[in-house]
Structure 1
Amino acid sequence: MLTQTTTRVLEPSDLDAALAVLDREPVANAFVTARVRVAGLDPWRLGGEMWGWYEDGMLESLCYAGANLVPICATDRAIRGFADRARRAGRRCSSIVGPAEATARLWQLLEPGWGPAREIRSRQPLMVTDRMPTDITPDPYIRRVRKDEMDTIMPACVAMFTEEVGVSPMVGDGGLLYQARVAELVGSGRSFARLDEHGKVAFKAEIGAATDQVCQIQGVWVAPEYRGLGLAAPGMAAVLRYALADVAPVVSLYVNDFNTPARAAYRRVGFEEVGAFMSVLF
């Protein structure tokens, strides 16, 4: 029994305790919860370590340390503990992302050693809905992307990622990991698009992280030549219909606060703000 405040790397035997923490905030923790429910806590399968913060022998907070550093249900004392461990380990992640308040505090502690960041997005509204809109007709041309359409969807995915993150997902390993992730979403029936008469993607989105309680729409993108034509809200309504019918009873997403058109489209479909994320990009 641990009788003081401490951090340690969790082991597979800690799975139930970790899930109990993750389930406290199912919407905010959807990304990590989905990974843990599939991979458990083995670092190789999980794609990173799960750090636990204990107080008087009880697991109180978590921090996922993989390609992203993600504080989870993190108290102020836990954040200091995670920051100490992260400093000792050195930066291995490409971003810090999580609930805005905890992420801001974590970055405040890490910035002297890890900074400067390439970009900081200090407020990204977290939005949810559990029902279809009554005043928007879902776009009837939105459908699942087929497995034989990877060559069609990949350029749109790369364009979206590059526009959103500021760097191409094709750098480094030539895009192998990113292409594998896109193929995974296509193969699982969670990639959706509207193609124009020339067979090019006009609108696309994916259902990314998914648990029994909530799923997360990501990668929403309208091709530049189709922006301002009213595709976003009907397209989102169509993807939302798939999500609610086939995946989870609650659907979430998060969006940059400066992306006014996207936020307006999401509100039209019925998404409401319930919190905020923050992202620190390296």
Structure 2
Amino acid sequence: MLTTTTTKVLEPGDLDAALAVLDREPVANAFVAARVQAAGLDPWRLGGEMWGWYAGGRLEALCYAGANLVPICAGPEAVRAFADRARRSGRRCSSIVGPAEATTELWSLLEPHWGPAREVRAHQPLMVTRAMPADIAPDPLVRRIRKDELDVVMPACVAMFTEEVGVSPLAGDGGLLYQARVAELVGAGRSFARIEDGRVVFKAEIGAATALACQIQGVWVAPEYRGRGFSETGMAAVLGYALREVSPVVSLYVNDYNTAARAAYRRVGFEEVGAFASVLF
């Protein structure tokens, strides 16, 4: 029994306790919860370690340490403990991302050792909806991407990623990991697009998905089609798939400076309920 305030790397036997923590905030924790539900806590299958913070023998907070470092339900004391472990382990992640307060505090403790970051996005509104919009009709031409259309959607995915993150996903390994992730979403039936004359006009994916909440990601409109309402009608179409087939709550997060996207999401019915932050390396 762990009777003091401490951290440890969780093991498969800790799965139920970890899931209970993740279920406290199902929208904010959807990304990590989906991974844990699919892979358990074995680091090889999970793609990283899950750190647990205990107080009085009870698991109170988590931190996923993989390609991303993600604090989960972490108050100030837990954040300090996770920062200490991360500092001692050395940086192995490409980003720190999660609820804004915990992520910002975690980075303030790690920056003297890991800095500088390539970019810090301190306020990314977290938006949620539970219903279809009343006054925006879904685009009937937005549909699931077929497995044989991977080559059609990939250029749009690369363009979106490069525009959003600031670096190409093809750097480093030539895009093998990124292409595998895109193929995984296509294969799972969670990649959607409007395609005209063999080119993607609009696309989006349902990324993280649990029975309680899911997250739309990778929203992109071809530059020559922007400002014509494709984002709203396309999002309404993807939202319909998400609500019917995945979960009763649909979320996304967006950069605060992207005022056009925030306005479009509000028109589709999304409301801001919190904020994420991202530190990019």
State the TM-score, normalizing by the size of structure 1. Answer: 0.99
C-alpha distance in structure 1 between counterparts of 2:56 and 2:213, whole Å? 31
C-alpha distance in structure 2 between counterparts of 1:17 and 1:92, whole Å? 26
1:199 CA displacement = 1.4
Q: Which residue of 2 aligns with 1:209?
A: 208
1:172 CA displacement = 1.0
C-alpha distance in structure 2 between counterparts of 1:111 and 1:219, whole Å? 28
C-alpha distance in structure 2 between counterparts of 1:272 and 1:75, whole Å? 25
Q: Which residue of 1 aligns with 2:217?
A: 218
Aligned residue for 1:140, secondary structure, equals coil
Map 1:107-186; keep pairs closer than 5 Å: 107-186=107-186
Report Cα offsets for 1:254-282 as digits up to 9, x if no partner: 00000011000100000000100000000
C-alpha distance in structure 2 between counterparts of 1:144 and 1:171, whole Å? 28
Aligned residue for 2:8, secondary structure, equals strand
1:71 CA displacement = 0.2
Residue 256 of structure 2 corresponds to residue 257 of structure 1:
yes
Aligned residue for 1:97, secondary structure, equals strand
Q: Which residue of 1 aligns with 2:227?
A: 228
1:115 CA displacement = 0.4
Q: Which residue of 1 aligns with 2:25?
A: 25
Q: Which residue of 2 aligns with 1:242?
A: 241
1:2 CA displacement = 1.0
Aligned residue for 1:135, secondary structure, equals coil
C-alpha distance in structure 1 between counterparts of 2:32 and 2:194, whole Å? 29
1:75 CA displacement = 1.2
Give the partner amino acid of 2:54: Y
Q: Which residue of 2 aligns with 1:48?
A: 48
Report Cα offsets for 1:146-183 as digits up to 9, x if no partner: 10001100000000000000111111111111101100
Q: Which residue of 1 aligns with 2:89?
A: 89
Report Cα offsets for 1:38-77 as digits up to 9, x if no partner: 0000000000000000011110100000000000000111
1:104 CA displacement = 0.5
Q: Which residue of 1 aligns with 2:266?
A: 267
Residue 61 of structure 2 corresponds to residue 61 of structure 1:
yes
1:88 CA displacement = 0.3
Aligned residue for 1:201, secondary structure, equals strand
Residue 13 of structure 2 corresponds to residue 8 of structure 1:
no
Report Cα offsets for 1:24-48 as digits up to 9, x if no partner: 0000000000000000000000000
TM-align CA RMSD? 0.5
Q: Which residue of 2 aligns with 1:194?
A: 194
Give the partner amino acid of 1:142: V
C-alpha distance in structure 2 between counterparts of 1:231 and 1:62, whole Å? 38
Q: Gaps spanning 5+ residues in structure 2: where?
A: none
C-alpha distance in structure 1 between counterparts of 2:98 and 2:157, whole Å? 23
C-alpha distance in structure 1 between counterparts of 2:250 and 2:229, whole Å? 22
Q: Gaps spanning 5+ residues in structure 1: where?
A: none
1:3 CA displacement = 1.3
Q: Which residue of 1 aligns with 2:35?
A: 35
Q: Which residue of 2 aligns with 1:76?
A: 76
